[in-house]
Amino acid sequence: MEPHLLRTFVTVADCGSFSAAAEQLGYTQSAVSQHIAALESDLGTPLLHRRPVAPTASGERLLEHAGPILLRLEAARADVRRTVAGPPSVLALAAAPLAADRLATALVAVRRSHPGTEVSLTVCGREQVVEAVATGEFALGLVDGIAAPSDPLRLSDAVRLRTSPIAHDDLVVALPNDHPLAHRRGLSLDDLTDARWIDAPDAAVPLASLRAATRAGGLRPALTCSGTDVHTLLALVAAGHGLAVLPQSIGAPGVTGVPLTAPRLVHRIELLHGLLSEPAAAALAAVLSDRE
Amino acid sequence: MEPHLLRTFVTVADCGSFSAAAEQLGYTQSAVSQHIAALESDLGTPLLHRRPVAPTASGERLLEHAGPILLRLEAARADVRRTVAGPPSVLALAAAPLAADRLATALVAVRRSHPGTEVSLTVCGREQVVEAVATGEFALGLVDGIAAPSDPLRLSDAVRLRTSPIAHDDLVVALPNDHPLAHRRGLSLDDLTDARWIDAPDAAVPLASLRAATRAGGLRPALTCSGTDVHTLLALVAAGHGLAVLPQSIGAPGVTGVPLTAPRLVHRIELLHGLLSEPAAAALAAVLSDRE
DNA sequence: GGCTATTACGGAAATCGTAACCATG
DNA sequence: CATGGTTACGATTTCCGTAATAGCC
């Protein structure tokens, strides 16, 4: 179970194709085939169905482990590298788009207390925030998600990272102003399972999260929007392409937010970090955490 | 960072010697030297001081990751293997000695509800319980430890395992009956830092745990006792070789348990398990958890 | 000088690419 | 029959053991 074999395995499972994975990894199809064969012979069981390529039951189990293991390896390498490189010169921050605005205000205080600090902020999807904080690429990250009012966020536990709650907010269904439901005082997801939805997993609450939080089926996306641009998503909503669930604080002209009353869910923002060896990062974490 | 290099690295760090690690792993000294050199060149930094062999600062960081990574790899392999092997024929249980007696009573109910079940119980040290449950060698494990009254047990988070509290108990300082302090109503650790202690990390509360739970220094062991035999430990205490901290429920003729009043700590037993695919294991887990 | 890590070197094994092969949709 | 995974095979590299070398108590 060498790491590079695991890596090609997850890539193949991800691509659903040996040749696509080969291209993505810079191997030949033959090498990829040999990698999978080596893994399967090592574990003594088929891991992938061929034609079409899909994980077997055993493959599914391995997939659950492989990602976290590879991430942990990356984190270990980065951790060691950091001891030799010394503290970085820029304070590198990552945030999911619906969490990023928290940084804007908190950074003001840090700018004042640590005037020389150069700051870099990357807005990207939630998984990428978790991964990049885990590998130490960023000192600090903010992620968001939905949960029952009393629950913390359920983050992928690939690597043990320190987390602390930063803020929470109610959820609304975003509708065009002229939508027939826009005047409602509240909406239940159960009434909206057959509505036209926009799935923008990195710019709004992912439909998958909503599905997981409800028993209700449905919630099929009429339009899928990738990328982290909330602005564009709001424009799509305003233009009537479909609905999206967002935290109450996000809005735009042309879009009405109607409180989501059932199921009872809240939007949460959590801070994610590793060791905080830099004083500026520690100070920022303190400022962010104190807000709660 | 191939796993076999990491394995060699942790072994060398553990042994404090290249040649000892080589023997333990079935390599030659030369191979071990090459492994370490490969790792160091890969990470671009020395990981070990030589003569005497000890981890560098970078090496310390790597050590923190390497163990969990290797364990997780083992767990992944075992997990996949289990999908092909099907459910095992014997219900394999592991327990730390101070937690094992909980199994005795709980197993009676399972024996009744699952009459055909063959059971194997292994009593071993806490780390081994965690490792072996993580790799699926055992379906279920019981571990014990100390914590503040409101806290859960702090287990090594190498692999994400399901845990649930089973029981808790007060702590006592075990003394020979004729010890001058044996008539006391309570004792504080602070008064005992300079006493003669027996450190039996796998048969009593480890001194290291006590040190971690207090600010007080001291607690130097006058005698170190390895192995999981609580009976022998109690004999050593009765013979006046030194003191040990145990849960209140453990006792023997010749040994007096005086409540440990400060710091406020309790002895906890927690259940540890993976997926519980076997009905008998699930039933046992249910019985154990219901006791709380 | 003894113990122990490092380096040099060679044989065995593994890795990956080219190319031929084969199976499925 | 075409797309795409498998197998055969060979060049290159890697890996590990033997043995000689070097460094610290």
Q: pLDDT tens-digit profile of B219-253?
A: 888 889 889 999 998 988 988 898 999 999 988 88
- DSSP E strand stretches across A43-156: 48-49, 54-55, 90-95, 118-123, 140-147
Alpha-carbon gap, residue B171 to B266, rounded angstroms: 6
Q: Are residues B240 and B226 in the same domain?
A: yes
Q: Are residues B179 and B120 in the same domain?
A: no
Count: domains in chain A: 3
Q: Are residues B190 and B243 in the same domain?
A: yes
Which residues in chain A touch residue B58, judged by CB atoms under 8 angstroms apart?
A: 80, 83-84
CB-based burial of residue B137 (10 Å sphere; 0-12 exposed, 13-18 middle, 19+ buried)? Answer: middle
Q: Are residues A214 and A248 in the same domain?
A: yes
Which residues in chain B touch residue A64, judged by CB atoms under 8 angstroms apart?
A: 79
Q: What is the pLDDT of residue A216?
A: 64
Task: Indicate the residue among A84, A114, A148 that finishes a domain.
Answer: A84
Total beta-carbon pairs less than 8 A apart between chain A and chain B: 82
- DSSP E strand stretches across chain B: 48-49, 54-55, 90-95, 118-123, 140-147, 162-176, 187-188, 197-199, 221-224, 244-247, 255-262, 266-273
| A209 neighbors A131 (Cβ within 8 angstroms) | no
CATH number, domain with residue A206: 3.40.190.10
Nearest chain B residue to A71 by CA: give it. Answer: B69
Q: Are residues A203 and A237 in the same domain?
A: yes
Alpha-carbon gap, residue B12 to B21, rounded angstroms: 5
Q: Are residues B128 and B201 in the same domain?
A: no
Alpha-carbon gap, residue B136 to B76, rounded angstroms: 9
Q: Are residues B12 and B54 in the same domain?
A: yes
Closest CA to B161 of B189, B193, B138: B138
Q: Are residues A61 and A204 in the same domain?
A: no
Which residues in chain A touch residue B45, judged by CB atoms under 8 angstroms apart?
A: 80-81, 83-84
Task: Indicate the residue among A39, A59, A84 that finishes a domain.
Answer: A84
- From residue A92, alpha-carbon distances to A87, A138, A165, A171, A221 in Å are 11, 5, 20, 29, 34
Q: Are residues A254 and A182 in the same domain?
A: yes
Q: How confident is the model at residue A55 (pLDDT cuts 50, 70, 90)?
A: very high
Most confident of A60-64, A287-291, B152-156: A60-64
pLDDT above 90 coverage of chain B, percent = 51
Q: What is the pLDDT of residue A206?
A: 93
User: Is the pTM above the cut of 0.95?
Assistant: no
Q: What is the mean pLDDT of residues A34-38?
A: 95
Q: pLDDT tens-digit profile of A4-29?
A: 999 999 999 999 999 999 999 999 99
Instruction: Please tell me what DSSP assigns to residue A234.
Output: H
pLDDT at residue B46 is higher than 90: yes
Query: Domain range holding B242?
Result: 168-267
Q: Are residues B251 and B174 in the same domain?
A: yes
Task: Indicate the residue among B52, B84, B116 that finishes a domain.
Answer: B84
Q: Are residues B282 and B137 in the same domain?
A: yes
Q: List the structure tokens of A156.
A: 């992928």
CATH number, domain with residue B72: 1.10.10.10
B57 touching A (Cβ < 8 Å): yes
pLDDT at residue B157 is higher than 80: no
Alpha-carbon gap, residue A247 to A257, rounded angstroms: 9
pLDDT at residue A292 is higher than 60: no
pLDDT at residue A159 is higher than 80: no
* Record: contact B83-A61, CB cut-off 8 A: yes
Q: What is the pLDDT of residue A113?
A: 87
Q: Are residues B155 and B15 in the same domain?
A: no
Torsional sign, CA B151, B156, B157, B161: negative
Q: How confident is the model at residue B292 (pLDDT cuts 50, 70, 90)?
A: very low
Tell which strand D nucleotides have any atom below 7 Å from a protein Cβ. 4-8, 15-20, 24-25
